[in-house]
Amino acid sequence: MSDGGKKERMGSDKPVASEGRGLEEASPHREDGSLQATGMDRRDFLRRSGAGAGALALTGSLGGLLSGCGSSATAAATPSVAAPGTGPEVVVIGAGAFGVWTAYHLQEMGARVTLVDLYGAGNSRSTSGDETRGVRSSYAGRELWTEWANLAMERWREFDEEWSPAMGDPLFYTTGDLILRDTTEGQIEEVREVWDTVGVPYEVLSPDEVRSRWPQIQIEGIEAALYEPGAGVVRSRAACRRVAGIFQQRGGQIRIAKARPGPVEGGRMVSLDLDDGADSISADRYVFALGPWFPKAFPEIMADRLRITTMGHVFYFGTPPGDYRFSYPNLPSWGFPGVTGWPTLPPDNRGFRIRTGGRVGEDPDTSVRWIPEEFHERPMEILQERFPIIAQQPIVETRACHYESSATRDWIIDDHPEMENVLLAGGGSAEGFKFGPMVGELIASRALVDGRFADLGDRFRLAELELNEEED
Ligand SMILES: Cc1cc2nc3c(=O)[nH]c(=O)nc-3n(C[C@H](O)[C@H](O)[C@H](O)COP(=O)(O)OP(=O)(O)OC[C@H]3O[C@@H](n4cnc5c(N)ncnc54)[C@H](O)[C@@H]3O)c2cc1C
């Protein structure tokens, strides 16, 4: 960055902005149709993750704690909350799901936080900027994701209980999620296994039960169905704006600016370069949550660890006037092999949503986010085959966005190898949105090295694994 640029310390009175399934695979009930008990509540989880004490021991400077940065094992053992306005200064770059929830949690932990985004929270280019995202916990073979998704549902509901009365319509809608497959082998068995281990409530449904409960779905050829009653759909773009808005109301600063790493001294980034050197901002710690922009901003580290060239296609179809069978709460979110969707949600009424495979897109700044007509046939075929009652309805909206898939297919939450006060957080890998309330806390905790989540050890750290040697 240019040293000649105007440098500011955080918390200045700069202008601020206003408030603000893909690789989605399949997705609970015992064989007899009864619900199973949830195995772990939030308190259990917090105890296990070491977060029970609440927060962070830092006041003013990060001091000695940052010398341990890079290993949660070296972090403070008993976190406590810094007095408001006295905590470390942190800049979060990127206001998608990962960034806004990180800023929110950092602030709750007592840090003084500025959130910077190139286009604003919930913008249409961001991967989090679509209207809706599915929230389910059916991750075959992935216990932690299943556990965290289940806990995230609870957090989304709690967040709505706390904030909706003051800020408007809820963000999270409990639709339930229905996985439909032609055989119980493979995914259905594996999902049941992980749900049984974690203790997620579910129902196993026969094809006749599915037909009787949701006659508007055509399930010819389907032999196996699992239903997760606690799953739902979140209004994603609105969620980014709301979390950012609450952050701002509580004194957080929001800047709309292009950021890039500034000068480095003694293995620490001194300041963040804004708008190509026109401005800069300095803080104790920097968290980059750039989604598909990571390979552009940090090519040496991320180009071989994140694939961002596959774009997913999302279509919203109109629902017939006066026919509420395709509107919440009359239909669950659903997943046939390779395609997922859900009912139109109040209060936005964007339409009945279908996600299909997508196309190639190289650059998140320039790729076109609407879907050209040559790709419209596939969702129409799906409607014809699975939802024939609305097969004649028009497409009312399309959204394309970049998947940011990591080589390990897991999140990346780790320190920059050459800048000890810089944390990199991304790799949502087609599933990241739902985890926002949980993963934001993990990122904030790693940024502040507060010792929460010590149980995770080195999970989500930068792996040696690169894209050309991806796991199967
Ligand atoms: C088609 C599709 C369907 C999906 N479906 C689901 C689903 O059903 N459920 C689910 O949980 N997940 C789903 N996902 C995945 C989920 O949407 C993502 O994992 C998540 O939104 C990623 O959030 P993020 O904050 O990492 O990235 P983003 O939301 O992309 O945010 C990155 C932000 O960084 C900003 N930025 C970039 N460069 C700079 C810079 N230099 N300076 C300042 N700011 C910058 C951008 O403007 C952007 O706002 C889906 C993804 C796709 C593509």
Nearest Cα residue to atom 39 of ligand 1: 118
Res. 8: pLDDT tops 90: no
Provide the mean pLDDT of the chain: 85
In a domain, 149, yes or no: yes
Res. 61: pLDDT tops 90: no
**Would you list the DSSP string of 217-252?**
S--TT--EEEEETT-EEEEHHHHHHHHHHHHHHTT-
In a domain, 416, yes or no: yes
| Identity of residue 36 | Q
3-state secondary structure of 112: strand
Per the CB < 8 A criterion, the answer to whether 120 and 96 are in contact is no
Atom of ligand 1 nearest to the CA of 425: 26
Atom of ligand 1 nearest to the CA of 260: 41
| Identity of residue 201 | P
Name the DSSP class of 169. Answer: S
Q: At what angle do helices 436-448 and 143-167 cross, to 10 degrees?
A: 100
Q: Look up residue 274 and give its two tokens.
A: 């804004």
In a domain, 461, yes or no: yes
Q: How confident is the model at residue 52 (pLDDT cuts 50, 70, 90)?
A: very low
Task: Please give the average per-residue pLDDT across 179-195, as a whole number.
Answer: 97
Q: How confident is the model at residue 469 (pLDDT cuts 50, 70, 90)?
A: low
**Spatial separation of the C-alpha atoms in residues 440 and 156, rounded to whole Å:** 13
Res. 14: pLDDT tops 70: no
**Spatial separation of the C-alpha atoms in residues 63 and 78, rounded to whole Å:** 16
- Domain count for the chain, please give it: 1
In a domain, 312, yes or no: no
Question: What are the φ and ψ backbone dihedral angles of 378, each rounded to 5 degrees?
Answer: -60, -50
In a domain, 141, yes or no: yes
Name the DSSP class of 370. Answer: S
CA of 437 to the centre of ligand 1 (A): 14
Asked if the peptide bond before residue 79 counts as cis, ω within 30 degrees of 0, the response is no
Q: Taking Cα atoms as reference points, which of 158, 189, 223, 221 lies closest to residue 441? A: 158
Res. 280: pLDDT tops 70: yes
What separation in angstroms does the CA of 16 have from each of 11, 120, 257?
11, 10, 10
Per the CB < 8 A criterion, the answer to whether 407 and 466 are in contact is yes
CA of 125 to the centre of ligand 1 (A): 8
Q: Which residues contact 152 (CB under 8 A, 6 or more apart)?
A: 135, 434, 435, 436, 437, 438
Check which CATH number belongs to the domain holding 245 and give it. Answer: 3.50.50.60
Question: What are the φ and ψ backbone dihedral angles of 348, each rounded to 5 degrees?
Answer: -85, -35
Enumerate residues lining ligand 1, CB below 6 A. 21-22, 24, 93-99, 116-119, 123, 125-128, 133-134, 258-260, 289-293, 297, 312, 314, 355, 401, 403, 426, 428, 430-434
Among 131, 307, 367, 433, the mutation site with the greatest number of ligand 1 atoms within 8 A of its Cβ is 433
In a domain, 355, yes or no: no
**Spatial separation of the C-alpha atoms in residues 190 and 96, rounded to whole Å:** 31
Q: In what order do the strands lie in the sheet with 6-9?
A: 6-9, 279-282, 272-274, 259-261
What separation in angstroms does the CA of 364 have from each of 25, 123, 235, 255, 324?
24, 12, 22, 20, 36
CA of 116 to the centre of ligand 1 (A): 15
**Spatial separation of the C-alpha atoms in residues 442 and 75, rounded to whole Å:** 13
Task: Please give the average per-residue pLDDT across 56-83, as a whole number.
Answer: 37
Angle at 259 between CA 257 and CA 261, to 5 degrees: 165
The separation between CA 232 and the C-alpha centre of its own chain, rounded to angstroms, equals 14
Res. 94: pLDDT tops 80: yes
In a domain, 293, yes or no: yes
pLDDT tens digits, residue range 369-394? 999 999 999 999 999 999 999 999 99
The residue ranking higher by pLDDT, 46 or 389, is 389
Boundaries of domain holding 429: 6-27+41-167+235-306+407-469
